[in-house]
């Protein structure tokens, strides 16, 4: 299936926001879309089996039309189940499908998917083939540079070559290996050293493949530097913790001439969305738990965060109060 690869299919996705459990839900993605109109957004990882056998598929699949372009990430190891999940993703309107071979959590690995699957490239290839053969969407893969002691360039290259032959359209490589015994997921995000040079060597060995780098990326200037060597960059924890520090994505990465929004402008522009969410039975904390990350590095930021967090957790936050408190940020916002 190597001939089906298109190195131009996803070139416009120069920057993507990594799928992160308990972080990249549809509310956070709406906030990010106010910051960047171009960055590729991801769902949290969805276990394909849970989706296929659920009687509440909307809960897994639902997203707002403003979120495009958006990729749905699946975890799993059963090609037959992934076949059904691929059809659902296409029918629901996603722009692409990503397959998770990078998550190091014990719960995920005990289900024989996530990073542990890197030890079985043939099974991964069958999963990619099943996804590719049952939808018309680009199918991409997110993986580590290796697992445990198996992290040589030869091993990584052999893995990527096999998956490329199965039809993967893009490889998002977290430039750390996963240590499955002895480290928890948080430690696996920090303790194994970043090895950008190994991913550069992989790209040099496979110039025709679309290879995106992930891990430890902290600002748009670093992204621009990495884009000299790679087809794309994926940003994770930094963009979740400090979203407004990434307000120049469209200008710097995509060359769009526009003025960045301030935090107060972003929050106030989301008021209709919050009101709609409340009318559907949601609560303000669903959204405010993400919004609080916008307000930092300015006077009275802590007061705003504490007020909004406390009231929304208690379900006591009124929209008028949110608007009033946010409007007071405007004189100190930038």
User: How confident is the model over 282-322, as pLDDT tens digits?
Assistant: 999 999 999 999 999 888 899 999 999 999 999 999 999 99
Decide: 79 and 132 in contact? Cβ < 8 Å. no
Domains of the chain in start order, with CATH, are 2-252 (3.20.20.70), 263-332 (1.20.120)
Contacts 24+ apart (CB under 8 A), 160-163: 160/202, 160/206, 160/209, 161/206, 162/121, 162/122, 162/124, 162/125, 163/121, 163/124, 163/125, 163/128
C-alpha span between 287 and 203 (Å, rounded): 39
User: How confident is the model over 101-110, as pLDDT tens digits?
Assistant: 977 665 554 5
Q: What is the pLDDT of residue 297?
A: 87
Q: For residue 69, how far is the Cα from the chain centroid?
A: 12
Least trusted range by pLDDT, from 24-33, 159-168, 218-227, 292-301: 292-301
Question: Does position 265 have pLDDT exceeding 90, yes or no?
Answer: yes
pLDDT more than 70, % of the chain: 92
Residues facing 308 on adjacent strands: none
112-134: average pLDDT = 91
Q: What is the pLDDT of residue 106?
A: 59
Q: What is the pTM of this model?
A: 0.92
Residues belonging to the active site: 103
Q: What is the pLDDT of residue 334?
A: 55
């Amino acid at each position: 299936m190597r001939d089906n690869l298109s190195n131009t299919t996803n070139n416009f996705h120069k920057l993507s926001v990594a799928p992160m459990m308990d972080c990249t839900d549809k509310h956070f993605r709406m906030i990010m879309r106010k910051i960047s109109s171009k960055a590729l957004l991801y769902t949290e990882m969805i276990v394909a089996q849970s989706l296929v056998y659920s009687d509440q598929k909307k809960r897994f699949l639902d997203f707002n039309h403003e979120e495009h372009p958006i990729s749905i990430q699946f975890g799993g190891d059963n090609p037959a189940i992934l076949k059904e999940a691929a059809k659902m993703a296409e029918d629901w309107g996603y722009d692409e499908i990503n397959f998770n071979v990078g998550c190091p959590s014990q719960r995920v690995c005990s289900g024989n998917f996530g990073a542990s699957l890197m030890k079985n490239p043939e099974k991964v290839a069958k999963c990619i083939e099943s996804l590719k053969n049952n939808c018309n969407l680009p199918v991409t893969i997110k993986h580590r540079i290796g697992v445990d002691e198996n992290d040589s360039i030869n091993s990584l290259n052999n893995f990527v070559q096999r998956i490329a032959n199965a039809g993967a359209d893009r490889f998002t490589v977290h430039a750390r290996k996963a240590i499955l015994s002895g480290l928890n997921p948080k430690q696996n995000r920090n303790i194994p050293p970043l090895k950008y040079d190994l991913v550069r060597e992989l790209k040099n060995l496979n110039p025709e493949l679309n290879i995106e780098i992930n891990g430890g990326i902290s600002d748009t200037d670093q992204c621009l530097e990495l884009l000299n060597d790679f087809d794309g960059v994926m940003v994770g924890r930094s963009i979740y913790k400090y979203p407004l520090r990434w307000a120049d994505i469209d200008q710097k990465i995509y060359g769009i001439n526009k003025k960045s929004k301030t935090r107060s402008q972003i929050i106030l522009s989301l008021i209709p969305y919050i009101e709609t969410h409340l009318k559907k039975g949601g609560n303000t904390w669903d959204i405010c738990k993400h919004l609080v990350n916008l307000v930092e590095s300015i006077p009275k930021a802590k007061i705003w965060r504490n007020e909004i967090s406390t009231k929304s957790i208690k379900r006591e936050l009124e929209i008028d109060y949110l608007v009033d408190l946010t409007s007071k940020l405007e004189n100190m916002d930038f």
